[in-house]
Chain A
Amino acid sequence: DTGVSQDPRHKITKRGQNVTFRCDPISEHNRLYWYRQTLGQGPEFLTYFQNEAQLEKSRLLSDRFSAERPKGSFSTLEIQRTEQGDSAMYLCASSLLSGLLNTGELFFGEGSRLTVL
């Protein structure tokens, strides 16, 4: 297994367009998280899934954002009607709940960089 995989690595779009990012977690990891990172800041929590259930969403996640994990494996993050303020690195992370409870560790992907023109 090669770790958490995210696609695309970089997306350039025009304001008002919709974009979708995909995350493939480490297999058998039941927890999946989405974070957003802007320049000079640490990653900010957006939402997380336990298997296919979305358990928490940050208030940062406006109505234009939607995330799914339909079969408890891969996840998608869609941004509708993109705005320039959406430009950021979108990070996906996964973990086994049992591991999380022991160490709190998440395994991050390399991220998907969004540029909104």
Chain B
Amino acid sequence: DQQVKQNSPSLSVQEGRISILNCDYTNSMFDYFLWYKKYPAEGPTFLISISSIKDKNEDGRFTVFLNKSAKHLSLHIVPSQPGDSAVYFCAATGSARQLTFGSGTQLTVLP
């Protein structure tokens, strides 16, 4: 039972353009949603999060949008840079604060 799904295993975009990564969830008890970035041979690093009471959170080039009715969130990266190339994991958490992760999307930003 996958409670957090990332249906696109990979995404390629041109440098300077927008990257949009998508994530769907099924558990309505989740109250925080997070994005992590992972480079090879490193642990995941936190990127940005959003509370379930908000619909948008922005941090520099990164914006996360939450659509609770659709149980969908997305991460927008504008403008995309080659250094953004990594695996991006969507994660969600409830009151126990144990993260449930999606399977990840490999983002490749082409120079």
Q: Which residues of A contact B (CB under 8 A)?
A: 4, 31, 33, 35, 40-45, 48, 55-56, 91, 93, 95, 97, 100-101, 103-111
Task: Classify chain B: how many residues form its interface, as a range.
Answer: 20 to 34
* A-B CB contacts (within 8 Å), total count: 63
**Residues of chain B from 10 to 61 with CB closer than 8 A to chain A in the complex:** 32-34, 36, 41-46, 49
A45 touches B103 (CB 8 A): no
Chain B residues with CB under 8 Å of A31's CB are: 97
* Other-chain residue from B4, B44, B49, B103 in contact with A104 (beta carbon distance below 8 A): B49
Pairs A–B under 8 Å by Cβ, sample size 12: A4-B43, A33-B99, A40-B9, A41-B103, A42-B4, A42-B102, A45-B100, A56-B96, A97-B97, A105-B46, A108-B45, A110-B42
Does residue B69 face the partner (Cβ distance < 8 Å to A)? Answer: no
Chain A residues with CB under 8 Å of B101's CB are: 35, 42-44
Shortest distance from the beta carbon of A103 to any chain B beta carbon, whole Å: 5
> Apart from A4-B43, A42-B6, A104-B91, what 6 extra A-B contacts exist at CB < 8 Å?
A40-B9, A56-B96, A56-B98, A103-B34, A108-B36, A108-B45
Report how far A100 CA is from B99 CA in the complex, Å. 10
Q: Name, among A4, A31, A35, A103, the residue most crowded by chain B CB atoms within 10 Å (CB to CB).
A: A103
Shortest distance from the beta carbon of A10 to any chain B beta carbon, whole Å: 10
Shortest distance from the beta carbon of B68 to any chain A beta carbon, whole Å: 16
User: In the complex, which residue of chain B has the Cβ closest to the Cβ of A109?
Assistant: B43
* Other-chain residue from A42, A45, A103, A108 in contact with B32 (beta carbon distance below 8 A): A103
